[in-house]
């Protein structure tokens, strides 16, 4: 499906020559290199039936990230989540301060209304226990002191606790099934960093595609900052193409001045060539991430049953998703199916909130 692009006064990325993918980079992608973990079962066909069977029901979704937490109330209408105004919670977390209280208050409301609560967590979990996040020390201590470190112990109304990647993948997979009748999904995030999750044959997998080694052929701007995750000393793909960890860092190296990604986008719209090059290179990196992840999971991007779901700030950049699709299409000789979370989902929400709520309904 070809994306219709708006008329603009600046040159879109899709007007540039289409670069080739680097086979040596794709060879870096294995299930082991992706640190693949099984997150949970999720069949979008059965989930669609479950959502339809729970028409009119209310559910809470919570999303806890590195610097903020949010809770939203949803109602299932025509099999989809619709944000409702009856309850909302927000906290700007300094090291996760206020997260536990946010969840406790949501649990009280869930108990009063006899509804379930799903939680999306911006880090790894073991079962329903968060185990790591570099910016949530206070949250970890409070959760340990009050609930033995276990999200489910906050309340029996907590019926799902999932990593934010799989949570987003759940939301994306359900949309992919609604839109294309497809059951396999590659969910890719490009925001502060790069992350991936895969839904294949009714299983959600968490994968760390951003921390795969970047080959020299893709290190266009001589990035030297090491990955640092899993004790990796090499430069990873996140350092080459992520909206923050890659683009902002490379802008700083080149210009000597720090600038936020959203401001670099404004520079691009004003005609800055380097800004355009950075985002075009980022799209090339993401095309490798998607194609390499598909290769590792033995998913064909030519198959109409496979849909790519793009999420994060970079996908709001003009024609960014279309550019990724253009690069992949040239390599696989077919137009991939690519949708973006900015174009669907409940209002005043995000894919991780939606996915947590969907998981809560399906697990209840």
User: Please, what are the domains in the chain?
Assistant: 13-39+181-343 (3.30.420.40), 41-168+346-363 (3.30.420.40)
Sign of the C-alpha dihedral computed for residues 312, 314, 318 and 322 taken in this order: negative
CB 329 within 8 A of CB 97: no
Instruction: Tell me how far apart the alpha carbons of residues 266 and 249 are, in angstroms, rounded to a whole number.
Output: 17
Please list, in sequence order, all residues whose beta carbon lies within 8 angstroms of the beta carbon of residue 200, skipping any fewer than 6 positions away: 184, 185, 297, 299
Tokens 């995750």: give the residue: 229
Tokens 């090491």: give the residue: 226
* pLDDT tens-digit profile, the chain (364 residues): 455 555 556 889 999 999 999 999 999 999 999 999 898 899 999 999 999 999 999 999 999 987 799 999 999 999 999 999 999 999 997 899 999 999 999 999 999 999 999 999 988 888 899 987 878 999 999 999 999 999 999 999 999 999 888 999 999 999 999 999 999 999 999 988 898 999 999 999 999 999 999 999 999 999 999 998 888 999 999 999 999 889 999 999 999 999 999 999 999 999 999 999 999 999 999 999 999 999 999 999 999 999 999 999 999 999 999 999 999 999 999 999 999 999 998 888 899 999 999 999 999 8
pTM of the shown model: 0.90
Residue 207's nearest CA partner among 195, 199, 190 is 195
In order, the DSSP letters of 205-261 are EEE-GGGSBPPGGG-TT-------GGG--SPBHHHHH-IIIIIIHHHHHHHSS---H
Instruction: Tell me how far apart the alpha carbons of residues 178 and 133 are, in angstroms, rounded to a whole number.
Output: 33
């Amino acid at each position: 499906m070809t994306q219709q692009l708006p008329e603009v006064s600046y040159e879109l990325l899709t007007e540039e020559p289409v670069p080739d993918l680097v086979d040596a980079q794709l060879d870096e992608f294995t299930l082991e290199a992706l640190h693949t973990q099984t997150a949970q079962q999720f069949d979008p066909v059965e989930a669609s039936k479950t959502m339809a069977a729970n028409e009119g029901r209310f559910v809470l979704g919570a999303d806890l990230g590195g610097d903020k937490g949010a809770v939203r109330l949803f109602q299932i209408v025509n099999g989809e989540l619709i944000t409702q105004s009856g309850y909302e919670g927000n906290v700007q977390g300094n090291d996760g301060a206020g997260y536990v209280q946010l969840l406790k208050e949501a649990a009280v409301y869930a108990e009063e209304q006899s509804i379930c609560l799903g939680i999306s967590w911006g880090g790894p979990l073991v079962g329903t226990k968060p185990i790591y996040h570099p910016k949530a020390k206070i949250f970890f201590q409070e959760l340990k002191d009050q609930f033995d470190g276990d999200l489910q112990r906050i309340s029996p109304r907590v019926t799902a606790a999932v990593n934010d990647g799989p949570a987003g993948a759940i939301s994306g997979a359900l949309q992919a099934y609604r839109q294309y009748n497809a059951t396999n999904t590659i969910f890719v995030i490009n925001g502060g960093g790069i992350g991936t999750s895969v839904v294949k044959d009714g299983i959600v997998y968490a994968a760390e595609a951003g921390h795969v080694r970047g080959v020299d052929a893709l290190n266009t701007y001589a990035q030297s900052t090491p990955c640092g995750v899993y004790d990796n000393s090499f430069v990873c793909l996140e350092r080459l193409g992520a909206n923050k960890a890659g683009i902002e860092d490379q802008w700083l190296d080149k210009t000597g001045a720090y600038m936020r990604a959203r401001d670099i986008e404004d520079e691009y719209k004003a005609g800055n060539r380097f800004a355009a090059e950075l985002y075009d290179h980022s799209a090339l990196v993401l095309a490798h991430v998607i194609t390499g992840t598909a290769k590792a999971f033995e998913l064909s991007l030519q198959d109409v049953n496979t849909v790519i779901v793009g999420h994060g700030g970079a996908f709001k950049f003009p024609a960014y998703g279309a550019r990724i699709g253009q690069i992949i299409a040239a390599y696989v000789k077919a137009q991939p199916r690519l949708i973006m979370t900015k174009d669907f989902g409940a209002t005043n929400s995000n894919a991780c909130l939606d996915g947590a709520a969907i998981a809560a309904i399906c697990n209840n």
